[in-house]
Amino acid sequence: MSFSYDLLIIAHDDPYPAYRWLRDNDPAHYAETAGIWVLTRFADVSNAFRDWKTWSSGRRGNLINDPPERVGKTLGTTDPPRHTFARGIVNKAFTPQTVAHLKPKIQTLARELSQTAREKGRFDFAADISAPFNAAILGAMFGVPDEDFIRIRRWLDDFFLREEAKAGEEPKHKIAMRHLTEYVNTLAEARLATPQDDLLTAMLQAEEGGQRLDTHTVVVTTMTFLTAGFESTNNLFTNLAHALAKHPHVFAEVKANPDLIPAFVEEGMRWDAAAQGFVRTPTQDIELHGNVIPENSQVLLHIGSANRDERQFAHADIFDIHREKLRHLGMGQGIHFCVGAPLGREMAYVIFAELLAASDTWQVDFTGAERVKTPDFRGFSKLPLTIVN
Ligand code: HEM
């Protein structure tokens, strides 16, 4: 059997047998049509994440076909020393207190949304729970008012599309990027004039070694936070809701014992990774598994596959919330490890605790579900869920 990795395979219902085939037969795979290399084994993906000198994020970015205007300007698309400086500032602005400060809002909103969901009984988990919850929390964190978030929402969704535009038309992700830049620019100007208690202001004011980030960098960094944060949390949450419906015994167990929710969230991040892969560019030719990956090529570090590698995880295809010392790659690894991880985890714990408490049953109408179609993220744009008998 020969196989060429297709970028939208991640939107298939079950791409995992194909990933397994690649791990076993062609672990350093060249996908001809897409023009990218794909690493699928845990050990290779993990090594590449940790070795930023050989596997650059700054040469061609970290998304598949990353728009050149993004590369070198965001946290995820820079290498040290630029990355070290920017990450230092972001770490100062994005502290455990930032998450602690948001906790009451996370709790109240999760409860309100779950109560409304219970009254409805059947609803769209993506549109009625995940999106409004994530938009409100990320908005509150950066100082984007709720009503504006509804307006910029479409651009956050379009940002990760990589569809070919019709002749004479601008691709959707470029339009989205332009509008988002304009929006965040105006917001940054307002915060420079009148500082507020939000992350945007904190980043504009933070200093590292006596230096500040210039406004343009703060604007681009904020856009990355909004897009990366919104897209990843929505995909994570919809995948978790889907995994619960697929595994009724897990639903019963975590409902009976909410202390298991963090373990359920962690296993969910491993079993069906929301961020299925990020790109790196080798800074020299790399010999791997009998192939030579040329310097400057795009290489997809396949998190989705690495997390199911049976060389690393016993019975990797089984959803098991009792795994010990689970070390998955769902939030990345190394210097680019997800800066929003503590927030994303906290939000997941609270929304699932509230919704599970409000539910008698957990049934997804699979015929009405729709998957997102981007080459980097896996999740659902529509997920009809019934929680009342
Ligand atoms: C909850 C689900 C989330 C998942 C599954 C996730 C996943 C990831 C992964 C895998 C990376 C590594 C990227 C790379 O190595 O190139 C990453 C980085 C990043 N994430 Fe997240 N993320 C989540 C939530 C968030 C949130 C809520 C935010 C912001 C509020 C955020 C902001 C970022 C940023 C800015 C980076 C780049 C960090 C750097 O390059 O130093 N993420 N995320």
State whether the beta carbon of 225 lies less than 6 angstroms from ligand 1: yes
Cβ of 230 below 6 Å from ligand 1: no
Q: Distance, CA 228 to ligand 1 centroid (Å)?
A: 6
What confidence score (pLDDT) does residue 164 get?
Answer: 66
- Ligand 1 center from residue 74 Cα (angstroms): 12
pLDDT digits (tens, 9 = 90+) for 303-344: 999 999 999 999 999 999 999 999 999 999 999 999 999 999
Residue 160 pLDDT grade (very low, low, confident, very high; cuts 50, 70, 90):
low
The mean-pLDDT minimum among 21-35, 150-164, 187-201, 307-321 falls in: 150-164
Band (161; pLDDT cuts 50, 70, 90): low
pLDDT at 2 over 90: no
Q: Is residue 292 part of a domain?
A: yes
Ligand 1 contact, 275 CB (< 6 A) = yes
How many Cα atoms within 13 Å fall on the side-chain side of residue 320? Answer: 12
Distance 270 CA to ligand 1 centre (A): 15
Average pLDDT over residues 149-164: 73
Instruction: Taking residues 82-93, report their average pLDDT.
Output: 89
Q: Is 93 in the pocket of ligand 1 (CB under 6 A)?
A: no
- pLDDT cut 90: percent of the chain above it: 69
Considering the domain boundaries, does residue 2 fall inside one?
no
Indicate which CATH number applies to the domain containing 155: 1.10.630.10
Asked whether residue 201 is assigned to any structural domain, the reply reads yes
Note the pLDDT tens digit of each residue in 166-195: 778 888 878 888 888 899 999 999 999 999
For residue 15, how many C-alpha atoms fall within 13 Å in the half-sphere facing its CB?
Answer: 28
3-state secondary structure of 261: helix
The pLDDT of residue 93 is: 81
Q: Which of 82, 232, 299 to mutate to test the pocket of ligand 1 (most atoms within 8 A of CB)?
A: 232
Q: How far is the CA of 166 from the centre of ligand 1 (A)?
A: 31
Q: What is the pLDDT of residue 132?
A: 87
Direct distance between the N- and C-terminal alpha carbons of the chain, in angstroms, rounded to an integer = 46
Does residue 1 sit within a domain? Answer: no
CA 2–ligand 1 middle distance (angstroms): 33
Is residue 331 in contact with ligand 1, taking CB distance under 6 Å? yes
Answer whether 278 contacts ligand 1 (Cβ < 6 A): yes
Written as one letter, the residue type at 124 is: D
Task: Supply the mean pLDDT for the chain.
Answer: 93
Distance 33 CA to ligand 1 centre (A): 28
Query: C-alpha 385: how far from its chain's center?
Result: 22
Is residue 356 domain-resident? Answer: yes
Burial class (CB in 10 A: 0-12, 13-18, 19+), 253: middle
The pLDDT value recorded for residue 6 is 92
pLDDT at 242: 98
Strand, coil or helix: 33 = coil
CA–centroid distance, 225 to ligand 1, in Å, is 8
224 lines ligand 1 (CB under 6 A): yes
Distance CA 114, CA 333 (A): 33
Residue 33 neighbours by CB under 8 Å, 6+ apart: 4, 6
* Integer Cα distance of 278 and 287 in angstroms: 20
pTM comes to: 0.93
pLDDT in tens, 280-302: 999 999 999 999 999 999 999 99
| Structure-model confidence comparison of residues 333 and 86, the more confident one | 333
Q: Are 38 and 31 in contact (CB under 8 A)?
A: yes
Distances (CA, A) of 77 to 71, 251, 281, 335: 5, 38, 11, 12
Q: Among candidates 106, 105, 129, 16, which has minimal Cα distance to 362?
A: 129
Q: For residue 332, how far is its CA from the centre of ligand 1 (angstroms)?
A: 8
**Predicted confidence band of residue 213 (pLDDT cuts 50, 70, 90):** confident
Q: Which of the 8 DSSP states describes residue 11?
A: G
Residue 104 lies in a domain: yes
| Rounded distance from Cα 63 to ligand 1 centre (Å) | 12
384 Cβ closer than 6 Å to some ligand 1 atom: no
Residue range(s) defining the domain that contains residue 353: 7-386
In a domain, 360, yes or no: yes
pLDDT digits (tens, 9 = 90+) for 336-346: 999 999 999 99
| Domain total of the chain | 1
Residue 163 binned pLDDT confidence (cut-offs 50, 70, 90):
low
Ligand 1 pocket, 274 CB below 6 A?
yes
Ligand 1 neighbourhood includes 135 CB (under 6 angstroms): no
Residue 146 clears pLDDT 90, i.e. is over it? no
pLDDT in the model for residue 157: 72
Q: Is residue 350 part of a domain?
A: yes
Range with lowest mean pLDDT among 207-211, 356-360, 368-372: 207-211
Percent of the chain with pLDDT over 70: 98
CA-proximal residue: ligand 1, atom 20 (nearest): 338
pLDDT at 114: 98
What pLDDT, in 10s, does the model give residues 218-242?
A: 888 888 888 888 889 999 999 999 9
Instruction: Give, for 300, the enclosing helix (H) or strand (E).
Output: strand 299-302
Ligand 1 contacts CB of residue 359 (under 6 A): no
* 77, 275, 285, 297 from 294: Cα distances, Å: 20, 25, 4, 6
- What is the CA(340)–ligand 1 centre distance, in A? 6
Q: Which residues contact 58 (CB under 8 A, 6 or more apart)?
A: 71, 72, 77, 78, 79, 82, 83
pLDDT tens readout for residues 237-281: 999 999 999 999 999 999 999 999 999 999 999 999 999 999 999
Pocket test for ligand 1, best of 87, 237, 338 (most atoms within 8 A of CB): 338
